[in-house]
Structure 1
């Protein structure tokens, strides 16, 4: 190759005038030195030396040799670019502005820009490189991409061994923001059992000593976090479990199963306490220890107990308090404590239990164990909760780190929020039916109401209208709630009517529409309700019904909509803000509403049923409507009773029907009811 021509490309020279200078760049064809030189490929810029092990045909083909040289240069350039990208410094300030991350505190740790950067951070914190690399591979294997804003902030803070108070919008990935650093900081267990299946052992005398504990307000949310944690851990060897499930934390059964009304009552009360923490008043905390003992001895899951290492233990507050009193789960050696939905756990209904858990972390704690690192996460974080957090969390060195992603009291921008005026309670059901007939009712749909009774009534009305609906609330057992959630996830239930029990944290895939049938009692309740849609960057829609009675609190929701970037009419912005006393009164006691069946429903509830039924009886002709409704729907319980019979088999009504057939009584009436239902 003419080296001078290569260097002088694009320029014109007088070759005759500068012939002597050009000669310095020419290589003699018969130069023995040039012909025997063996320059490395990296230094052979002009292709002077031939490859030592080249094939006979390759040296004689200049085009093939040229392509080979181009391929090698491209490969070397790609390696150089990749190394430059890895070594290139990240503009953390620009990264924080892009993801709207606001960090407050002393000696703030840098956010983690990528999941690969977790490796070096975790190794610097004392973790094994092989464990963290396996975790990063699992992250990519399950289809996760770059971390979100709250994940960047939480990963950097927790890997720096600091306490964190994080507030981020719903659907922003808060679960993985504390699951991944916990797994990265905890060495893998040496037991050979699979993390997806906890095997039982013969002895359960030794107490469980989890290295990290995650507190969730409801059992449904605890089971969801368990699924996500096991999905991320994969088969790498970490042990994650829920207290009270799969025999974890359950004492070995010494006596036979207790039967009777007392055992059933205790089991139901404990389920209700787990679900709502006595928010709606069904659970009796005075008898809580006895109820827990009855569940552990008489429940179906008490047959096998698990005795082995636990890396991460997920639990509800009440179950953990019972375990602490029974000395089955001490927290003296626990290194990390995570409070998910922290604002809920610091409310009056959970505050006493949360205090007991925090006190147990420092009780009989050895000096070599160090302080417990704490983390609090939620989509809403009132100032009162922040003040409590400052007294609970200290962190290492610089104190607590406060991480706010986006606006503190706003929903995600991917949700299209709207308000619908329905005048009175009588028009709510008509407005809902109008949404259905106009094609705006796009399943799967979540509908929120303010009480258990209203959830039952609305579910019956929608079923009567031909909508495949179901209800989930604290009156149902944990098994029934699991079945309803599974049916909704499988698409067998199109519309799920919920109370605020399901408003927090639960991730229903693909929910396109959320309807607030009853006006939310606070801005936090509204944010968590509509946060069930528009998750992980997907679009969603939220419709809120409001009546004249709700007009005084409308500005609370309008402020959230404006902070979220939604278009709000000027007349709504001009509304006065409700007073603090009015907000507290609404939060403690919701507005009294007429029974749904008394509005535009298909019938009237019995005397003594519902909220208004306790004060007065049905209207004239209501009794006949109620009986007609019961005859069509299959009894007072509606289709729920029939569905329960189909799923569980022999129920009280089924046994009674068999007894009647054996005695030769009422076989015709039962057959007539089945024919009516089929029609």
Structure 2
């Protein structure tokens, strides 16, 4: 006997008893996290039904007045007043409807005075130019994260938004920023363009991708936006700047007065991939301390902040609660869960040679390209690249690491999107946020440094509700690290070797080794081959060696950050030299030699002192 269909109005107005649910998200639920789910009845229809019901009760009360008098008539008139559909009733209905929309879209919100989620882009009354761009790029309806984040940013609310990979987070902040800038132009609040928004990304390649979204959706709007790569003066006369924290810090240190003046007019600071930004384990990019500076510089009464990420971070949540006024938290789906649209496999390969053999089997057995293969660092990327290219010359294979030039990176990623590259070997540099919608397979050749990195890596496939596949290889060396990943895959509903769930959890020391890519792995051949190939690529200017580069260095690193320490050292060195020259001029004599500090390394005396002592001893 089939079960009767539930009465929507009863569910909406009387509530529904919440059952204890299985924490595993089903495949259909996970797809819904990326695609809007519509209620069976829309709010106008529900309002009409409710008003009709109250009107009917009102008419019945009028009919009863003619038959009764005295106390009975007073009672009927009282019930008639109660039957009227008031403004309070309408607000309550709207609140219940918003709750229902959030429930069916796996949306959880925390905060005060939260606006109802939108169901259509038309609800926000975008300029016709934005509507035309949405249609051109086939964006028909808002995704769950867009449904709630768009009205929040429209109301200028501080927020922290977390949603799965491939769920449309970028548009969730790009569209409201464009709308706000457009409206300020129309209002004539400024005669000349002033900086309204800063968008911070962890890497240059991700910043470039977000910048392209502004290009696409600012068509015909005559808005000014820029992508600051750090290789020149900070852009002026623009309304939006997309950059990385380190490059913005560099711009302020190089021209503090001018850049700080621009930052005074900023209304929005958007921190994308915010969990990465608050990661204090990174020693290269040092995002946490740098981000603190930027947030301090933009701490104005008129400035709002929006944090976006695919994974939750307790550190980000604590910061938002402690530092932002009346913030709203938006969570789509389960906390730090892997994408169940992606079929996940955990495979024991035994050794490094076993991993190579397993990769060969995948490529020889046929696969649906393109595929991403993640490795631990740039050296292993190069070695695996030469190993596979020599064995599979008929398959277009490319590599991306921190050594690849920016121009070459963009060319390779475009070729992956166009399916002209079938296999891309890469480091963590490509692990976050990069939109490669055509990717069907992700292979973790080396274990990711953290569970969060695992979620981001496999999030390069299975985007926008499409299915994908992910394979993670592990060896004897990895047994002390594998338990958390095995548990996550099992939690997502996929089988793993039973013994991996019985292994001990990694110790704090083991986690530190893994997070810093400190695992010593045996080479698997191709080392000398890669050195020869590398030299040729450097000659063709496809690769750059940052370790031997002279002067300023600004580049993405293989841990998903950006390198700028050398750039800062170069700037400071130049400033020190200039200061010494000025002092020399003032004194009218050469004092550079006297002012130059001596450096003691490991307790040793400066070379000049040693020479003097030797000379004295000889006499």
TM-score norm. by structure 2 comes to: 0.66
* Counterpart in the other structure of 1:172: 167
Query: Which of residues 399, 407, 411 is equivalent to 1:479?
Result: 407
CA distance in 2, matches of 1:461, 1:445: 16
CA distance 1:495–1:641, shift in 2 (3 Å): farther
- Given the alignment, which residue of 272, 277, 301 partners 1:340? 272
Give the number of aligned pairs.
Answer: 441
With over 3 angstroms needed to count, the CA separation of the structure-2 counterparts of 1:99 and 1:500, relative to structure 1, is: same
- Give me the whole-angstrom Cα distance separating, in 2, the residues matched to 1:361 and 1:83: 40
The gaps in structure 2 that reach 5 residues or longer are 1-40, 49-92, 187-191, 281-285, 543-619
Cα distance between partner residues in 2 of 1:190 and 1:84: 34
2:213 aligned residue:
228
Kindly state the Cα deviation for residue 483 of structure 1 after the two structures are TM-superposed: 2.7
TM-align CA RMSD: 2.9
Describe the shift of the 1:477–1:163 C-alpha distance in structure 2 as closer, same or farther (beyond 3 A). same
Q: Name the structure 2 match of 1:533.
A: 461
For the residues of structure 2 that align with 1:549 and 1:376, how far apart are their CA atoms? Answer: 37
Partner of 1:528, secondary structure, is: helix
1:352 maps to 2:358: no
Q: Does 1:98 align with 2:26?
A: no
SS in 1 for 2:138: coil
Indicate if the aligned counterparts of 2:182 and 2:221 stay in contact, CA closer than 8 A.
no
Over residues 279-320 of structure 1, what are the superposed CA-to-partner deviations in whole Å (9 max), with x where a residue is unaligned? Answer: xxxxxxxxxxxxx6xx43xxxxx8xx9653x22211111111
Q: Deviations over 1:497-521 (max 9, x none)?
A: 1110110100113001110000111
Match of 1:434 in 2: 361
Name 1:637's counterpart in structure 2: 532
On the 8 A contact 1:341/1:379 being kept in 2, the answer is yes
* CA spacing shift, 1:562–1:110, aligned 2, 3 Å: farther
- Per-residue deviation, 1:578: 2.9
CA distance in 1, matches of 2:359, 2:42: 56
The CA deviation at 1:442 is 2.7
Equivalent of residue 322 in structure 2, options 382, 385, 391: 391
Q: Which has the higher contact order (CA 8 A, sep 6+)?
A: 2
Aligned position for 2:122: 116
Matched-pair contact (CA < 8 Å) for 2:120–2:142:
yes
Cα drift, residue 528 of structure 1: 0.8
C-alpha displacement at 1:350, in angstroms? 0.7
Instruction: Give 3-state SS (helix, strand or coil) of 2:479's partner.
Output: helix
Q: Give deviations 1:223-250, integer Å, cap 9, x for gaps.
A: 1111122212221232222114xxxxxx
**C-alpha separation in 2, matches of 1:595 and 1:490:** 32
Change (3 A) 1:409 1:559: farther
For the residues of structure 2 that align with 1:319 and 1:589, how far apart are their CA atoms?
25
Q: State the distance in 1 between where 2:404 and 2:483 align.
A: 35
CA–CA distance in 2 between the matches of 1:453 and 1:311?
A: 40
1:215 maps to what in 2? Answer: 200
* Residues 495-510 of structure 1 mapped to structure 2, 5 A cutoff: 495-510=423-438
Aligned to 1:446, which of 368, 372, 377? 372
Contact 2:226 / 2:240 at 8 angstroms: preserved in 1? Answer: yes
| Structure-2 residue corresponding to 1:425 | 352
Where structure 1 has 5 or more consecutive residues not aligned to the other structure, the ranges are 1-80, 120-130, 192-206, 245-291, 297-301, 598-602, 607-628, 631-635, 649-679
Q: Distance in 1 between matches of 2:117 and 2:103?
A: 12
Task: Classify the secondary structure of the residue corresponding to 1:321.
Answer: helix
Post-superposition offset of 1:165? 0.7
Q: 1:83, 1:417 → 2: CA distance? A: 40
Q: Where does 1:144-223 land on structure 2 (aligned, <5 Å)?
A: 144-187=139-182, 209-223=194-208
CA distance, structure 2, for counterparts of residue 87 and residue 145 of structure 1:
26
Give deviations 1:413-440, integer Å, cap 9, x for gaps.
211111111011221111111111222x
Gap change, CA 1:189 and 1:226, over 3 Å in 2: farther
CA gap 1:577/1:114 in 2 versus in 1, 3 angstroms? farther
Alpha carbons of 1:337 and 1:551: their partners in 2 closer, same or farther (altered >3 Å)? same
Indicate conservation of the 8 Å contact 2:346/2:496, yes or no: no
1:116–1:559 CA distance, 2 compared to 1 (3 A): farther
Query: Does residue 487 of structure 2 align to residue 547 of structure 1?
Result: no
Asked whether the equivalents of residues 188 and 237 of structure 1 are also in contact (C-alpha less than 8 Å), the reply is: no
CA contact (8 A) 2:397 2:422 kept: yes
Q: Separation in 1 of the partners of 2:536 and 2:513?
A: 40
Q: Is the Cα contact below 8 Å between 1:511 and 1:533 reproduced in 2?
A: yes
Residues 382-422 of structure 1: CA deviation (Å, up to 9, x unaligned): 2122212323322xxxx111111111111222111111110
CA contact (8 A) 1:209 1:331 kept: no
Shift in Å at residue 338 of structure 1?
0.3
Contact 1:410-1:561 at 8 Å conserved across structures: no
